[in-house]
Amino acid sequence: MNGHDVIIVGGGLAGLTVAIALSRYNYNVAIFESSAYPHHKVCGEYVSNEIVPYLQFLGVDLIAEGGVSITDFEISNTKGKKVKSSLPIGGVGISRYAFDHLLFKQAKKQNVRFYFKKVLDVAHEQDVFTVYTKQKSIKAKVVIGAFGKRSNLDKKLNRDFIQRKNGWLGVKCHYKNEEFPTNLVALHNFEGGYGGLSKTETGAVNFCYLARYDQFRKHKNIEDFNSRVVSQNPHLREFLKHSEALFDAPISIGQISFDSKKPVFNHILMCGDTAGLIHPLCGNGMAMAIHSGKLVSEAVHRFMSEREYLRKDMEKEYSEEWRKHFKDRLRYGSYFQKILMQESLLNWGINTLGRSEGILRAMIKKTHGKMVTP
Ligand SMILES: Cc1cc2nc3c(=O)[nH]c(=O)nc-3n(C[C@H](O)[C@H](O)[C@H](O)COP(=O)(O)OP(=O)(O)OC[C@H]3O[C@@H](n4cnc5c(N)ncnc54)[C@H](O)[C@@H]3O)c2cc1C
């Protein structure tokens, strides 16, 4: 067949993981990615340690590359009342600019072919896929969907969640602030949203928040929203007052959906946010993207190497594995987001958690998995 064994649509963390893992078995693997590396992405940039051993196996060491070790967590309500805890597993602070680029370089080293093109459609006929861009069409035995939380392809494939309006906006900017502790990830609430602060490999502090769009649209722009709404939380007010923005302007994404999605659709195996997005307050979407990439690569390897393991077996087994590892975490993420977004519940939570660090650690554990090993 003129084409590739495996085509991955989307070269974020999930897609790059699949590509690196599969290229170790010498399959002919290609990624289609619409943006060149490196580039910034809206993300809290706190990666759970659960994924570190698997990344090391793939040849990527986040700490050796300058990622900072994060051990402590704090959360505050809109008035700034806060509780602190150590993190059960902990994590690493690293920018997406650096993280995605590291995986890209590793994939290149392992001869993954990159096409910097936007995919417009994917068809599956007579058990062969055709991937279409504006300029060309290429065939593959297997196609992996790793195109993130919202893509032109979701519309083209007519996926359920894309029909519904979604009212969340994500905003991110890096700041210079020498005072912010290196080992801390802080989550601060404000009316209609919440924001995370943590350091990255450059020493910059990443401030990334999620806000309800109906709340945001009452204001002129991000600057206005920051000063009138975000800054009502005294910790965020102090942070913004004493920090210097390092981007010309913050970056943002709209229409973020937390609706459930299917891990297999039109015979395409979906991974990362394309299969399901966990609420950002859990700080775990990146680890889940990488872990789901690992599960996809194992299912695909079996399909490619065992004659009796059919496509339907691969699709069934991957769907089951995905649900086993992630379904409950998404559900708990959704409960915790509801608590965070309701002032009275959050106040009750903070008063209760203030008396018991154990409860907070137990809640964090519910949205995190076990260490992911090769
Ligand atoms: C506000 C916010 C804060 C967050 N904070 C954290 C956090 O602190 N910690 C954490 O672990 N997670 C966090 N997350 C979640 C995390 O960002 C995602 O789970 C993670 O980025 C998923 O990676 P991915 O590879 O699935 O998708 P992405 O990284 O989005 O990659 C998808 C790629 O597909 C490409 N693409 C899309 N369509 C096409 C197409 N048609 N053709 C070619 N290429 C295409 C895009 O260019 C993109 O590079 C946060 C999310 C949000 C919204």
Q: Which of 32, 62, 273 most suits a substitution to test ligand 1, by most atoms within 8 Å of the C-beta?
A: 273
**What is the residue-level pLDDT of the chain in tens, covering all 374 positions?**
679 999 999 999 999 999 999 999 999 999 999 999 999 999 999 999 999 999 999 999 999 999 999 999 999 988 899 988 899 899 999 999 999 999 999 999 999 999 999 999 999 999 999 999 999 999 999 999 999 999 999 999 999 888 887 789 999 999 999 999 999 999 999 999 999 999 999 999 999 999 999 999 999 999 999 999 999 999 999 999 999 999 999 999 998 888 889 999 999 999 999 999 988 877 789 999 999 999 999 999 999 999 999 999 999 999 999 999 999 988 888 888 887 777 777 777 777 766 667 777 777 777 777 889 89
The identity of residue 322, as a single letter, is W
What residues pair up with 68 in beta bridges, in sequence order?
93
pLDDT at 282: 78
CB atoms near residue 152 (< 10 Å): 14
Pairwise CA distance, residues 208 & 251, whole Å:
9
Which residues in 249-288 are b (16+ Cβ under 10 Å) and which e? ebbebeebbbeebbbbbeebbbbbbbbbbbbbbbbbbbbb
Q: Evaluate: CB of 286 within 6 angstroms of ligand 1.
A: yes
Q: Evaluate: CB of 266 within 6 angstroms of ligand 1.
A: no
- Tens of pLDDT, residues 21-63: 999 999 999 999 999 999 999 999 999 999 999 999 999 999 9
Task: Classify the phi-psi angles of 101: left when phi > 0, otherwise alpha if psi is within -120 to 50, otherwise beta.
Answer: alpha
Q: Evaluate: CB of 289 within 6 angstroms of ligand 1.
A: yes
Q: Evaluate: CB of 119 within 6 angstroms of ligand 1.
A: yes
Which two three-digit tokens encode residue 285?
């979407």
DSSP state of 38: S
Q: Evaluate: CB of 158 within 6 angstroms of ligand 1.
A: no
Q: Evaluate: CB of 270 within 6 angstroms of ligand 1.
A: no
pLDDT at 354: 61
DSSP state of 205: E
pLDDT at 346: 75
Which two three-digit tokens encode residue 338?
């509801």
Residue 302 CA, ligand 1 centroid: distance in Å: 27
With CA atoms as reference, report the closest residue to 138 among 148, 128, 151, 126.
128
Residue 308 CA, ligand 1 centroid: distance in Å: 35
- Tens of pLDDT, residues 66-93: 999 999 999 998 889 998 889 989 999 9
Residue 337 CA, ligand 1 centroid: distance in Å: 19
Q: Is 362 exposed, middle or buried (0-12, 13-18, 19+ CB in 10 A)?
A: exposed
Query: Domain segments of the chain: what residues?
Result: 3-165+256-366
The shares of helix, strand and coil residues in the chain, as percent rounded to the nearest 5, are: 40, 25, 35
Alpha-carbon torsion, ordered 22, 26, 28, 34, to 10 deg? 40
Residue 256 CA, ligand 1 centroid: distance in Å: 11
pLDDT at 1: 60
CB 209 within 8 A of CB 193: yes
pLDDT at 157: 94
pLDDT at 100: 98
Which two three-digit tokens encode residue 29?
């693997």
CATH 3.50.50.60 fits 3-165+256-366, yes or no: yes
Pairwise CA distance, residues 31 & 245, whole Å:
33
